[in-house]
Structure 1
Amino acid sequence: MTIRAARQDELELLRTLESAAGVLFRSIGMTDIAEHPPPPLQLFEQARQAGRLWVTVDADDHPTGFVLVTLVDGAAHIEQISVHPDHQGQGLGRRMIGHVDAWAAEQGLPALTLSTFRSVPWNGPYYARLGFQELSPQKLTSGLTDLLAAETAFGLDPAERIFMRRSVAGQ
Protein backbone atom coordinates (compact mmCIF):
# COMPACT_ATOMS: atom_id res chain seq x y z
CA MET A 1 0.00 0.00 0.00
CA THR A 2 1.31 3.37 -1.03
CA ILE A 3 0.17 6.84 -0.02
CA ARG A 4 0.84 9.65 -2.45
CA ALA A 5 -0.51 13.05 -3.43
CA ALA A 6 -3.72 12.91 -5.42
CA ARG A 7 -3.53 13.86 -9.10
CA GLN A 8 -5.97 16.19 -10.80
CA ASP A 9 -7.17 13.46 -13.17
CA GLU A 10 -8.27 11.37 -10.14
CA LEU A 11 -10.54 13.91 -8.47
CA GLU A 12 -13.82 12.72 -10.00
CA LEU A 13 -12.85 9.15 -9.10
CA LEU A 14 -12.38 10.26 -5.49
CA ARG A 15 -15.93 11.61 -5.49
CA THR A 16 -17.13 8.20 -6.73
CA LEU A 17 -15.05 6.48 -4.06
CA GLU A 18 -16.63 8.69 -1.40
CA SER A 19 -20.11 7.72 -2.57
CA ALA A 20 -19.20 4.02 -2.47
CA ALA A 21 -17.76 4.33 1.04
CA GLY A 22 -20.96 6.02 2.22
CA VAL A 23 -23.02 2.93 1.49
CA LEU A 24 -22.03 1.47 4.87
CA PHE A 25 -24.24 4.06 6.52
CA ARG A 26 -27.27 2.53 4.85
CA SER A 27 -26.65 -0.73 6.74
CA ILE A 28 -27.13 1.09 10.06
CA GLY A 29 -30.20 3.06 9.00
CA MET A 30 -28.44 6.31 8.12
CA THR A 31 -29.84 6.48 4.59
CA ASP A 32 -29.57 10.28 4.37
CA ILE A 33 -25.82 10.05 4.99
CA ALA A 34 -25.43 7.14 2.55
CA GLU A 35 -27.17 9.12 -0.18
CA HIS A 36 -25.50 12.43 0.50
CA PRO A 37 -23.58 13.70 -2.53
CA PRO A 38 -19.80 13.72 -2.22
CA PRO A 39 -17.90 16.96 -1.65
CA PRO A 40 -17.75 19.25 -4.68
CA LEU A 41 -14.92 18.83 -7.15
CA GLN A 42 -13.73 22.34 -6.29
CA LEU A 43 -13.04 21.31 -2.67
CA PHE A 44 -10.90 18.39 -3.86
CA GLU A 45 -9.05 20.63 -6.30
CA GLN A 46 -8.36 23.30 -3.66
CA ALA A 47 -6.99 20.67 -1.28
CA ARG A 48 -4.91 19.09 -4.03
CA GLN A 49 -3.39 22.43 -5.02
CA ALA A 50 -2.63 23.18 -1.36
CA GLY A 51 -0.88 19.80 -0.97
CA ARG A 52 -3.48 18.49 1.48
CA LEU A 53 -5.11 15.64 -0.47
CA TRP A 54 -3.56 12.18 -0.43
CA VAL A 55 -4.64 8.81 -1.78
CA THR A 56 -3.88 5.23 -0.97
CA VAL A 57 -3.29 3.23 -4.13
CA ASP A 58 -3.21 -0.43 -5.02
CA ALA A 59 -0.46 -2.23 -6.95
CA ASP A 60 -1.82 -0.75 -10.20
CA ASP A 61 -1.63 2.81 -8.79
CA HIS A 62 -5.44 2.98 -8.62
CA PRO A 63 -6.85 5.00 -5.67
CA THR A 64 -8.45 2.89 -2.95
CA GLY A 65 -8.93 5.64 -0.37
CA PHE A 66 -8.24 9.29 0.29
CA VAL A 67 -7.80 11.83 3.04
CA LEU A 68 -8.54 15.54 2.60
CA VAL A 69 -7.15 17.98 5.16
CA THR A 70 -7.93 21.61 5.86
CA LEU A 71 -6.32 23.95 8.35
CA VAL A 72 -8.57 25.00 11.23
CA ASP A 73 -7.26 27.23 14.00
CA GLY A 74 -3.66 26.11 13.56
CA ALA A 75 -4.39 22.37 13.44
CA ALA A 76 -4.59 19.85 10.61
CA HIS A 77 -8.31 19.12 10.36
CA ILE A 78 -9.23 15.83 8.71
CA GLU A 79 -12.14 17.07 6.66
CA GLN A 80 -12.80 13.76 4.94
CA ILE A 81 -11.27 10.31 5.01
CA SER A 82 -12.74 7.48 2.97
CA VAL A 83 -11.76 3.98 1.92
CA HIS A 84 -13.54 2.07 -0.83
CA PRO A 85 -15.59 -0.82 0.64
CA ASP A 86 -13.50 -3.36 -1.27
CA HIS A 87 -10.43 -2.20 0.67
CA GLN A 88 -11.85 -1.51 4.12
CA GLY A 89 -10.58 -3.42 7.13
CA GLN A 90 -6.97 -3.40 5.89
CA GLY A 91 -5.70 -0.51 8.02
CA LEU A 92 -5.74 2.07 5.21
CA GLY A 93 -7.54 4.68 7.29
CA ARG A 94 -5.07 4.26 10.15
CA ARG A 95 -2.16 4.57 7.74
CA MET A 96 -3.59 7.70 6.13
CA ILE A 97 -4.01 9.28 9.57
CA GLY A 98 -0.39 8.39 10.29
CA HIS A 99 0.59 10.07 7.03
CA VAL A 100 -1.34 13.22 7.95
CA ASP A 101 0.28 13.15 11.39
CA ALA A 102 3.77 13.05 9.84
CA TRP A 103 2.84 15.84 7.42
CA ALA A 104 1.46 17.96 10.26
CA ALA A 105 4.67 17.44 12.24
CA GLU A 106 6.71 18.64 9.23
CA GLN A 107 4.46 21.72 9.04
CA GLY A 108 4.94 22.43 12.75
CA LEU A 109 1.26 21.89 13.50
CA PRO A 110 0.50 20.74 17.05
CA ALA A 111 -2.59 18.61 16.51
CA LEU A 112 -5.01 16.76 14.27
CA THR A 113 -8.73 17.42 14.61
CA LEU A 114 -11.84 15.92 13.06
CA SER A 115 -15.59 15.75 13.47
CA THR A 116 -17.45 12.48 13.30
CA PHE A 117 -20.47 10.50 14.43
CA ARG A 118 -20.45 9.64 18.11
CA SER A 119 -22.18 6.26 17.94
CA VAL A 120 -21.10 4.87 14.56
CA PRO A 121 -18.60 2.07 15.38
CA TRP A 122 -16.20 2.93 12.57
CA ASN A 123 -16.26 6.62 13.52
CA GLY A 124 -16.01 7.93 17.10
CA PRO A 125 -14.91 4.67 18.77
CA TYR A 126 -12.42 3.99 15.95
CA TYR A 127 -10.79 7.40 16.25
CA ALA A 128 -10.62 7.05 20.03
CA ARG A 129 -8.61 3.85 19.52
CA LEU A 130 -6.22 5.90 17.36
CA GLY A 131 -5.60 8.35 20.19
CA PHE A 132 -8.17 11.04 19.42
CA GLN A 133 -9.98 12.49 22.41
CA GLU A 134 -13.41 14.05 22.37
CA LEU A 135 -13.46 17.78 22.89
CA SER A 136 -16.08 19.18 25.23
CA PRO A 137 -18.13 22.06 23.80
CA GLN A 138 -16.09 24.45 25.96
CA LYS A 139 -12.86 23.30 24.31
CA LEU A 140 -14.01 23.84 20.73
CA THR A 141 -12.01 26.51 18.96
CA SER A 142 -13.87 29.20 17.04
CA GLY A 143 -13.17 27.40 13.76
CA LEU A 144 -14.51 24.10 15.09
CA THR A 145 -17.59 25.91 16.45
CA ASP A 146 -18.14 27.30 12.95
CA LEU A 147 -17.83 23.79 11.50
CA LEU A 148 -20.38 22.48 14.00
CA ALA A 149 -22.78 25.26 12.99
CA ALA A 150 -22.29 24.37 9.31
CA GLU A 151 -22.90 20.67 10.02
CA THR A 152 -26.04 21.51 11.98
CA ALA A 153 -27.29 23.80 9.18
CA PHE A 154 -26.69 20.93 6.79
CA GLY A 155 -29.05 18.80 8.86
CA LEU A 156 -26.71 16.74 11.03
CA ASP A 157 -27.86 16.24 14.61
CA PRO A 158 -25.36 18.10 16.83
CA ALA A 159 -26.02 15.59 19.62
CA GLU A 160 -24.63 12.85 17.37
CA ARG A 161 -21.59 14.83 16.26
CA ILE A 162 -18.34 14.98 18.18
CA PHE A 163 -15.13 16.86 17.60
CA MET A 164 -11.94 15.07 18.43
CA ARG A 165 -8.29 16.06 18.71
CA ARG A 166 -4.98 14.31 19.11
CA SER A 167 -1.56 15.76 19.49
CA VAL A 168 0.81 15.33 16.58
CA ALA A 169 3.48 12.71 17.28
CA GLY A 170 6.57 14.32 18.73
CA GLN A 171 4.80 17.57 19.59
Structure 2
Amino acid sequence: MTTSDGGGDQQKPRSGPRATYPAEQSAGSKRTWFVVLASVVVAAGLALAVLGFNQFGDPEVSGQATGYELLSSDRVAVQYTVNRANPGDAVVCIVRARAKDGSEVGRREVLIPAGTDIQVGARAELTTSAPPVIGEVFGCGLSIPPYLDSKS
Protein backbone atom coordinates (compact mmCIF):
# COMPACT_ATOMS: atom_id res chain seq x y z
CA MET A 1 0.00 0.00 0.00
CA THR A 2 1.43 3.41 -0.94
CA THR A 3 -0.83 5.78 0.83
CA SER A 4 0.00 8.62 3.17
CA ASP A 5 -0.39 6.36 6.18
CA GLY A 6 3.21 5.23 5.69
CA GLY A 7 2.45 1.69 4.65
CA GLY A 8 4.50 -0.18 2.08
CA ASP A 9 8.21 0.39 1.75
CA GLN A 10 8.64 -1.21 -1.67
CA GLN A 11 7.97 1.92 -3.70
CA LYS A 12 8.91 5.54 -3.08
CA PRO A 13 5.69 7.35 -2.12
CA ARG A 14 4.53 10.20 -4.34
CA SER A 15 2.53 12.01 -1.68
CA GLY A 16 1.96 12.12 2.05
CA PRO A 17 4.36 12.50 4.99
CA ARG A 18 6.93 10.02 3.68
CA ALA A 19 7.24 11.93 0.42
CA THR A 20 7.45 15.29 2.21
CA TYR A 21 9.88 14.33 4.97
CA PRO A 22 13.01 12.37 4.11
CA ALA A 23 13.87 9.13 5.79
CA GLU A 24 15.82 9.19 9.05
CA GLN A 25 19.48 10.25 8.79
CA SER A 26 22.14 7.83 9.86
CA ALA A 27 23.62 8.11 13.34
CA GLY A 28 27.02 9.03 11.83
CA SER A 29 25.48 11.92 9.90
CA LYS A 30 23.75 13.25 13.03
CA ARG A 31 26.99 12.98 15.01
CA THR A 32 28.91 14.90 12.34
CA TRP A 33 26.39 17.74 12.37
CA PHE A 34 26.48 17.85 16.16
CA VAL A 35 30.30 18.06 16.22
CA VAL A 36 30.35 20.79 13.56
CA LEU A 37 27.68 22.89 15.29
CA ALA A 38 29.28 22.43 18.73
CA SER A 39 32.65 23.52 17.32
CA VAL A 40 31.10 26.65 15.77
CA VAL A 41 29.39 27.54 19.06
CA VAL A 42 32.61 27.06 21.06
CA ALA A 43 34.64 29.14 18.55
CA ALA A 44 32.05 31.93 18.64
CA GLY A 45 32.06 31.91 22.44
CA LEU A 46 35.86 32.15 22.57
CA ALA A 47 35.84 35.01 20.05
CA LEU A 48 33.26 36.89 22.14
CA ALA A 49 35.30 36.33 25.31
CA VAL A 50 38.46 37.72 23.70
CA LEU A 51 36.63 40.74 22.28
CA GLY A 52 34.93 41.41 25.60
CA PHE A 53 38.18 41.24 27.54
CA ASN A 54 39.93 43.56 25.08
CA GLN A 55 37.05 46.02 25.20
CA PHE A 56 36.12 45.93 28.89
CA GLY A 57 39.17 44.47 30.65
CA ASP A 58 41.43 46.56 32.84
CA PRO A 59 43.50 48.93 30.70
CA GLU A 60 47.22 49.35 31.39
CA VAL A 61 46.72 53.10 31.86
CA SER A 62 43.65 55.15 32.71
CA GLY A 63 42.98 58.75 33.65
CA GLN A 64 40.02 60.22 35.50
CA ALA A 65 39.23 63.87 36.11
CA THR A 66 38.61 64.55 39.77
CA GLY A 67 37.77 68.24 39.43
CA TYR A 68 38.22 71.42 37.45
CA GLU A 69 38.46 75.12 38.18
CA LEU A 70 37.49 77.92 35.81
CA LEU A 71 40.36 80.38 36.26
CA SER A 72 39.20 83.04 33.77
CA SER A 73 37.28 83.39 30.53
CA ASP A 74 40.20 81.80 28.67
CA ARG A 75 41.78 79.45 31.25
CA VAL A 76 40.77 76.29 33.09
CA ALA A 77 42.65 74.02 35.49
CA VAL A 78 41.94 70.28 35.53
CA GLN A 79 42.72 68.04 38.49
CA TYR A 80 42.98 64.34 37.60
CA THR A 81 44.23 60.95 38.71
CA VAL A 82 46.28 58.55 36.57
CA ASN A 83 46.31 54.79 37.25
CA ARG A 84 48.97 52.62 35.59
CA ALA A 85 49.66 48.92 35.84
CA ASN A 86 53.43 49.46 35.77
CA PRO A 87 54.55 52.53 37.77
CA GLY A 88 57.90 52.45 35.96
CA ASP A 89 56.20 53.52 32.71
CA ALA A 90 55.92 57.16 31.72
CA VAL A 91 52.40 58.11 30.60
CA VAL A 92 50.93 60.86 28.47
CA CYS A 93 47.45 62.23 29.21
CA ILE A 94 45.35 64.45 26.98
CA VAL A 95 43.48 67.06 28.99
CA ARG A 96 40.87 69.22 27.29
CA ALA A 97 38.40 72.02 27.89
CA ARG A 98 34.96 72.28 26.36
CA ALA A 99 32.64 75.20 25.72
CA LYS A 100 28.94 75.44 26.52
CA ASP A 101 27.97 73.94 23.14
CA GLY A 102 30.22 70.92 23.78
CA SER A 103 32.95 71.90 21.34
CA GLU A 104 36.57 71.50 22.33
CA VAL A 105 38.17 74.91 23.03
CA GLY A 106 41.48 73.81 24.52
CA ARG A 107 43.73 70.75 24.61
CA ARG A 108 47.03 69.86 26.18
CA GLU A 109 49.18 66.75 26.33
CA VAL A 110 50.79 66.22 29.73
CA LEU A 111 53.70 63.89 30.50
CA ILE A 112 53.43 61.90 33.73
CA PRO A 113 56.98 60.66 34.36
CA ALA A 114 57.81 57.15 35.54
CA GLY A 115 57.74 56.72 39.29
CA THR A 116 57.01 54.29 42.08
CA ASP A 117 53.29 54.92 42.60
CA ILE A 118 50.56 53.08 40.70
CA GLN A 119 48.16 56.01 41.21
CA VAL A 120 49.35 59.58 40.61
CA GLY A 121 47.47 62.84 41.04
CA ALA A 122 48.17 65.73 38.64
CA ARG A 123 46.92 69.19 37.70
CA ALA A 124 47.11 70.90 34.32
CA GLU A 125 46.17 74.44 33.27
CA LEU A 126 44.86 75.05 29.77
CA THR A 127 44.47 78.20 27.73
CA THR A 128 41.25 78.15 25.73
CA SER A 129 40.03 79.79 22.52
CA ALA A 130 36.56 80.50 23.97
CA PRO A 131 35.07 80.62 27.47
CA PRO A 132 35.32 77.10 28.98
CA VAL A 133 32.59 75.48 31.04
CA ILE A 134 34.34 72.18 31.88
CA GLY A 135 37.78 70.61 31.99
CA GLU A 136 38.23 66.87 31.52
CA VAL A 137 40.66 64.07 30.76
CA PHE A 138 40.23 62.86 27.19
CA GLY A 139 42.47 59.83 27.70
CA CYS A 140 45.88 58.52 28.76
CA GLY A 141 48.29 56.16 27.06
CA LEU A 142 51.81 54.79 26.92
CA SER A 143 52.71 56.21 23.47
CA ILE A 144 54.79 59.25 24.38
CA PRO A 145 55.23 61.74 21.51
CA PRO A 146 58.89 62.62 20.80
CA TYR A 147 58.46 66.26 21.82
CA LEU A 148 57.30 65.19 25.30
CA ASP A 149 59.82 62.38 25.77
CA SER A 150 62.32 63.38 28.45
CA LYS A 151 64.89 60.85 27.13
CA SER A 152 65.46 62.66 23.83
Range of TM-score over shorter length: under 0.3
Q: Please identify which structure carries the higher strand content.
A: 2
Q: Which has the larger helix fraction?
A: 1
Greater RCO between the two (CA within 8 Å, min separation 6)? 2
- Structure 1 length-normalised TM: 0.22
